[in-house]
Each structure stands twice: as C-alpha cells, then as structure tokens.
Amino acid sequence: MQDIIIRSGLDIVGRTERLVETARLLLQSGKLDEAELYELDYEIERLKDMVYAADEAIRSLAQTAKCLPETVWTHGLRSTLH
C-alpha cells in the first residue's frame, strides 16, 4: 500500500511539473489554440483524478493504521486467553 502511495505521489509530482511548464510556455507564447487548450484541460482533469486516488489511498492507509493498535491488542488478548 505504501509503495502505491509513493508511486502515485511521484507520478502526481511529475505530471504537475509538466503541466506547469506547459502552461507557462503557452502563456508566454500568447497563442492558445483549441487543441492546446483541450490538451491542457485534459491533463488537468487527469491530475485531479490522480489526486483523488492518492487521497483515497492515504485515507485508507490512515484508517488501517488507526485500527491496527486495536486489532493487535484484541489478537494479543485472545492469544493470551487461549
């Protein structure tokens, strides 16, 4: 799970860097045709999807970590009693 979060985070960073660079170059050129606007919008939407997926993975990991001490304690208690 942690590997997925790390890889997703690195992928998000890479895409964000490319998106920022592309947007900067397009804005400096002063020419934004329909195809470039569409490509930029498409990359922004993909980036949003990746952020939501990473957020879900992080929340899931946090929930697992939150339940882990309780699970360990319950398992340890049952092992001791049996």
Average pLDDT in the 37-63 region?
81
Eight-state DSSP code of residue 30: T
Q: Where are the domains of the chain?
A: 2-81
The pLDDT assigned to 77 comes to 45
Q: What is the chain's length?
A: 82
pLDDT digits (tens, 9 = 90+) for 20-46: 888 888 878 877 788 887 888 888 888
* Residue among 7, 8, 1 at smallest CA distance from 63: 1
Mean pLDDT of the chain, nearest integer: 75
